[in-house]
A = this chain, B = another copy of it.
Amino acid sequence: MLLQKISYKKILYRILLFLQRLHRRRLVTGGLDASTGMTTYKKTPSSALSGSIQLAISHTVAGLSSKPERDVLMQDFQVVETILFPSEGSNLTPAHHYGDFTFRTYAPTAFRYFRDLFGIRPDDYMLSISRLPLRELSNPGASGSLFFLTHDDEFIIKTVQHKEAEFLQKLLPGYYMNLVQNPRTLLPKFYGLYNVQSGGKNIRMVVMNNLLPSVIKMHKKFDLKGSTYKRKASKQENEKKNPTYKDLDLLAQLPDGLTLEPDIHVALMKTMQRDCLVLQSFKIMDYSL
């Protein structure tokens, strides 16, 4: 009998990989412009989008950190802060090359509190996001979201649809409660929710943790669904250097499952049960955002 000892971290990263991939399954709204070779989102070139995000996030985080810290109130979850960024600059904002845009920060005080809980200092957040250009993630398959990765691999910035942004905002008080009661939660970490408005288009974005920073070496990847129906990596996938296996592959490759130390098993199950309770309470079946 094969008993595999696998560390807590590795297990987590396998589960998180699955969640991460869930995030990416979306309808197509972004695409590649065949004539220019540029990625666009709602007809906005992704380069202009990422540039304006970098500018605006670092501007608002700096502005926020000049305000004294205070407790989060219920009302803070509904706040939306609006700042105009004319390309020629203003008394409050710097000049830039991306065309005039309006930047909205959802629940700035609440997200500041979340970032603080997650141990992200304002200057680290700003530097990660704006010091070097964002990398655009090639986004294979069904997803229509754009994904940007900060140069240091810390954060993912992902476009979300109107409904998703609204839903996330409505979810914030419950999200807060879960963070406070269940600090080991495996649910995604949300660091900010923003809206770049330019030329009549609204592009909403969420900043979240990068579940798979490149420093983590994985020796095997599974994308698990809890179903055995057609859940086998394709021949094409199998030929890859690091294939992403599925449920049936797991059963074949690890017939005895994974062996976890008892206390880690208990802690992990408990955390996941608590996370499920929260998802259930929000009627979330598939918690991609």
Contacts and interface: CB of A to CB of B under 8 A. Distances in A.
A86 interface: no
Contact of A173 (B173, B181, B281): B173
Contacts of A75: 281
Interface in A2-30: none
Interface residues of A, number: 18
Interface string A273-289: 01001100100000000
Task: State the number of copies, please.
Answer: 2
A213 to B, nearest CB: 29
Interface stretch (A49-57, A66-74, A204-212): A66-74
Contact of A74 (B73, B174, B180): B174
Determine which residue in A73, A173, A281 has the highest number of CB atoms from chain B within 10 A of its CB, and name it: A73
A21 B174 CA distance: 35
A73 B180 CA distance: 11
Shortest 7 CB-CB distances between A and B: which pairs?
A74-B174, A71-B181, A73-B281, A180-B180, A74-B173, A71-B274, A75-B281
A197 interface: no
Interface in A157-194: 173-174, 176-178, 180-182
